[in-house]
Structure 1
Amino acid sequence: MPYLLNAWYVAALSSEVTADAPLARTLLDEPVVLYRVAGGQAVALADRCPHRFAPLSRGRVVDGALECPYHGLRFGAEGRCVFNPHGDGRVPARAEARHYPVRERYGAIWFWPGDPQRASNTPLPAFDYLDPQENFTSERYLHTHANYQLSADNLLDLSHFQYLHPETLGSEQMASGAVRATVAGNTVSVRREMKGEYLRPMLTQSFNLLYGERADRELDVQWIPPGLLTIVVRICESGLPETTREAVSAHWLTPETAASSHYFFAFGLPRAIGEHGAELVSRTAQSLLAPFRDEDIPMLEAQQRMIGDRDFWSLRPAMLPIDAGAVHARRIMERLIADEARQGVSTAGEVL
């Protein structure tokens, strides 16, 4: 499956990668190993020893280098072999594992699968509401046996709340809310507004509203390539905008394979709200884990089984107005991937 290569993807949450043991993860159909050197810096290498192709993730970190578990060759943070325990110790010219540019921010480790030179000139997408200096933050991870763009479709059309999450995130008024999708460059925005909703206890408790009272809700979703979303939820007592409460979350989608993906999500609350914000942001992230895990993911995986390895558009999907945002995002990705192909970028991220 073709992917957009010259882009920043989340490879792992910061908490997943420790100094104790390497982490194996398949990213965009490529085996990658993540680990930390002595100073704590995160490193991403191809998880394949260039000697006999053993998985480096089964090895150990020794003096800041990753040791192959098969024959003991060690690879430094740039991917070059720095130690050969055999014979006279000379290092073969081809003893090098691919090194991926890495940055760590917003509670996540980001990697760049394309041209390394372009990575150095491309800033990370901004998710400033997750800056730990100014915000309390909490992150979670879920694995999904479904294509990453099915998850993007899901997040760009939140009308499914009424049917897939009736006891948590949904309401009887959800699907009939006013919806507007817009495109600015490569950014897709979808706004949904509901008036006079009866919200479920999970939401009324999270937003400090009385259960059984009507509320007005706005949902703003912003998508940027390759699958990075921000969702802003605003809820107020019905007809009283001055009582508005707001919650902001990030949703980062990274392909594993054509039929599986990594789903990272995170919440942030300003530290200015007080120390209770740390507990509140953690509780909010944890409360949403259940509907994502128990309702969204089973549906996405059921969709993937129905689609199989066929092209999405070849199935001629029926379209509704609520699909506008998802269609825009898919078309943008198709154009960007096609542009890379025309520029001669290989699946290994190298210019041909």
Structure 2
Amino acid sequence: MTTCTDTLVATKANSPFPLDRWYLAALSKELTDKPIARTLLNHPIVLYRALDGQVNALQDRCCHRQLPLSMGTIEEGGLRCGYHGLLFDGQGKCLEVPGQQKVPRKAKVEPYLVIEQDDLVWMWFGSEQGSTPDKAPPSYAYHAHPDYVYDGGMFHYEAPYQLIHDNLLDLSHLGYVHLKTIGGDAKTHMNAEMLVETEGETVTVKRYMPNSTPPPTYIAAYPFKGKIDRWQEIEFCPSHLRIWTGGIDANSEQVTAPNRGGFHMRGLHCITPETEETSHYFWTIATNPKTDIENIKQKVVEQTRFTFNEDKVVIEAQHKSMQHFKGQPMIDIHVDTGANHARKIIKSLCETSS
């Protein structure tokens, strides 16, 4: 775990995003030998891994002539601006101005609080200047679980973050959008038993599809005997979703048992707004192969990436259409229950943050 302490985060009044919480800023594997520029919740930020391994985050500007610090270089001591060479440490303090001995007292940029855990980099966004976290970042044990292997990636969406929430909370679309990977019979998906519960900031959606045909991804990863009993269990939180899906041979055991066997896919989906109209979608997928582990992992990861690309096309087209037909009414159907609960939670949290 690495932290950047004593940080100040400037946040807007009437924020369109829930504040006083952790949002995912990067996957650990993204931070190599170069800084990364990323806008998160309307904040232009530079992320970098210092030579000692610590992850730091600063406002992405040099206080001299405003060149983005993400255009600079990582070196001993911190991050050096690519224009006139000012060197900043992980707290945003300028340590050196080439060509002069004295460093101006006001030569500093704003730092952000980050914590790295589970191969993920979380960033705190408070509702007030100088607010400190009252909770730890979300944990995700399946990145280190001995029964699972995982990988993941990131997509940039030209769409608001809540449209991605809607998509992930309603998996009935699998039978129509994802026929080549995790789909299956559309009628089975639309008629699946669905249980929706809310508690505090969390929405849980559970769907069960007994005696269904395994989709291509499942067949490629696990030696099912024929029909399967399939599950989809979704846990929504404002900054991320955990989705546990999988299948067991039909009638072989209880599909709702906590320790059920069969084929598992445990997805972590962290949707971090870039702006009101664009988003970062960080995802990982963990699976539990018993043999040919690396090969099966690669199949699952590749097909998951293909699946999410299909979703991206649909969601961005949906957003574009909504902009064109702005003001036109939309109806709800039974599969929208979970997404509607999530939207109510987000609305309430944004009002609280204002």
Amino acid across the alignment from 2:264:
E
What is residue 27 of structure 2 aligned with on the other side? Answer: 13
Determine the C-alpha separation between the residues in 2 that align with 1:82 and 1:38.
16
Describe how 1:113-262 pairs up with structure 2 within 5 A: 113-114=125-126, 118-131=131-144, 135-172=148-185, 173-210=188-225, 213-226=226-239, 228-241=240-253, 244-262=262-280
298-307 or 276-285, larger mean C-alpha shift: 276-285
Determine the C-alpha separation between the residues in 2 that align with 1:158 and 1:108.
25
TM-superposition CA deviations, 1:27-47 (whole Å, max 9, x none): 112211111112111111111
Partner of 1:308: helix, strand, or coil? helix
Determine the C-alpha separation between the residues in 1 that align with 2:106 and 2:172.
53
What is residue 268 of structure 1 aligned with on the other side? Answer: 286
Determine the C-alpha separation between the residues in 1 that align with 2:114 and 2:250.
46
Describe how 1:56-135 pairs up with structure 2 within 5 A: 56-87=69-100, 89-114=101-126, 118-131=131-144, 135=148
Amino acid across the alignment from 2:47:
L
| CA-CA distance at 1:84 after TM superposition | 1.4
260-269 or 23-32, larger mean C-alpha shift: 260-269
For the Cα contact (< 8 Å) 1:137–1:278, is it kept in 2?
no
| CA-CA distance at 1:93 after TM superposition | 3.0
Amino acid across the alignment from 1:95:
A
For the Cα contact (< 8 Å) 1:269–1:277, is it kept in 2?
no
| CA-CA distance at 1:252 after TM superposition | 0.9
For the Cα contact (< 8 Å) 2:118–2:139, is it kept in 1?
no
For the Cα contact (< 8 Å) 1:24–1:34, is it kept in 2?
yes
For the Cα contact (< 8 Å) 1:148–1:255, is it kept in 2?
yes
- CA shift in 2, pair 1:276/1:107, >3 Å: farther
TM-superposition CA deviations, 1:184-230 (whole Å, max 9, x none): 111100011112212222222223214xx32211100001122x111
TM-superposition CA deviations, 1:263-321 (whole Å, max 9, x none): 11112346xx768444433431222101211x10011101111223998xx65431112
Partner of 1:262: helix, strand, or coil? strand
Amino acid across the alignment from 1:106:
D
| CA-CA distance at 1:118 after TM superposition | 4.8
| CA-CA distance at 1:76 after TM superposition | 0.4
TM-superposition CA deviations, 1:7-53 (whole Å, max 9, x none): 111111111111x2111111112211111112111111111112221
Partner of 1:99: helix, strand, or coil? coil
| CA-CA distance at 1:171 after TM superposition | 1.9
Question: Which residue of 268, 285, 297 corresponds with 2:301?
Answer: 285
TM-superposition CA deviations, 1:39-77 (whole Å, max 9, x none): 111111111112221100001122131111122111100
Determine the C-alpha separation between the residues in 2 that align with 1:235 and 1:55.
48
Determine the C-alpha separation between the residues in 2 that align with 1:101 and 1:297.
30
- CA shift in 2, pair 1:206/1:315, >3 Å: farther
| CA-CA distance at 1:134 after TM superposition | 7.2
- CA shift in 2, pair 1:246/1:275, >3 Å: closer
% identical equivalent positions: 33
Amino acid across the alignment from 1:29:
N
Amino acid across the alignment from 2:323:
G
- CA shift in 2, pair 1:251/1:162, >3 Å: same
| CA-CA distance at 1:329 after TM superposition | 0.9
For the Cα contact (< 8 Å) 1:137–1:266, is it kept in 2?
yes
- CA shift in 2, pair 1:234/1:219, >3 Å: same
For the Cα contact (< 8 Å) 1:147–1:260, is it kept in 2?
yes
What is residue 49 of structure 1 aligned with on the other side? Answer: 62
- In the alignment, does 2:325 pair up with 1:307? no
Determine the C-alpha separation between the residues in 2 that align with 1:325 and 1:8.
22
Tell me how large the CA RMSD over aligned residues is: 2.3
| CA-CA distance at 1:239 after TM superposition | 2.0
TM-superposition CA deviations, 1:233-271 (whole Å, max 9, x none): 13122222266433211111111122221111112346x
How many residues were matched structurally? 331
Determine the C-alpha separation between the residues in 2 that align with 1:41 and 1:6.
23
Amino acid across the alignment from 1:304:
H
| CA-CA distance at 1:231 after TM superposition | 0.8
Partner of 1:8: helix, strand, or coil? strand
Determine the C-alpha separation between the residues in 2 that align with 1:275 and 1:244.
13
150-159 or 138-147, larger mean C-alpha shift: 138-147
Partner of 2:46: helix, strand, or coil? strand
Determine the C-alpha separation between the residues in 2 that align with 1:245 and 1:39.
40
Partner of 1:78: helix, strand, or coil? coil
* TM-score normalised by structure 1 residue count: 0.87
